[in-house]
Structure 1
Amino acid sequence: MTDLNHILVEDCCKYYSIETSFVRTLNDQGLIELEYTNQSYFINHEQLSVLEKYVHLYYDLDINVEGIEAISHLLKKIEDLQSELRQLKED
């Protein structure tokens, strides 16, 4: 892939010292979005901070992918509620 905004998943995994299967599982669960081109998976630069958060949860805190899904869902709900609260305060 010639797009400079994408990184080969294998290169990313080497950098973070993580397994490619973990990144693909995150993709399968809808937690990150990978692009498949020329028989290779790529991740967008914008998603690296999200991946780093999941890497920390999985490898450092020993939280499984199902737990990461639950945490991600709850954090999204909190962000939505905070946004709604800000809008209500502006009115």
Structure 2
Amino acid sequence: METTHLISIQQFCTHYNVPKTFINALHEYDLVEITITDNENYIKTNQLNDIEKMMRLHYDLDINLEGIDAIYNLLKQVEALQNQVVTLRNKLKIYENL
């Protein structure tokens, strides 16, 4: 499988000095998707920003994984609502111009 958009969990953990168990715990809460290729665990590179944010929440602010899970679910809901507001505003503009 092509691994150009993947980074090995071992390499990530070594670079950021975090234990693999942290990434595995994020995966158990469905906060991170792990891809297994050639008996190696990878994370997608487009998840790196989110993982870095979760690391800061956990290690700098001492928020447990349950809290991180709640925060990210709420952020997803806020983002969905913001998208819905933009869509509704665009529809409203159509009717205002008639």
Q: TM-score, normalised by structure 2?
A: 0.87
- Overall identity of the aligned pairs, in %: 36
**Alignment match, 2:96:** none
Shift of 1:39: 2.3
Q: Which runs of 5+ in 2 are unaligned?
A: 92-98
- 1:27 has 2:27 as partner: yes
Q: Which of these two proteins has the greater Rg computed from alpha carbons?
A: 2
Q: Which runs of 5+ in 1 are unaligned?
A: none
Letter matched to residue 64 of structure 1: N
**Alignment match, 1:43:** 43
Shift of 1:38: 2.4
Shift of 1:5: 1.3
Over the aligned positions, Cα root-mean-square deviation in angstroms equals 1.1
**In structure 2, C-alpha distance between the alignment counterparts of 1:37 and 1:3, rounded to whole Å:** 8
Q: Deviations over 1:47-75 (max 9, x none)?
A: 11111111111111100000000000110
Q: How many residues align?
A: 91
**In structure 2, C-alpha distance between the alignment counterparts of 1:62 and 1:83, rounded to whole Å:** 31
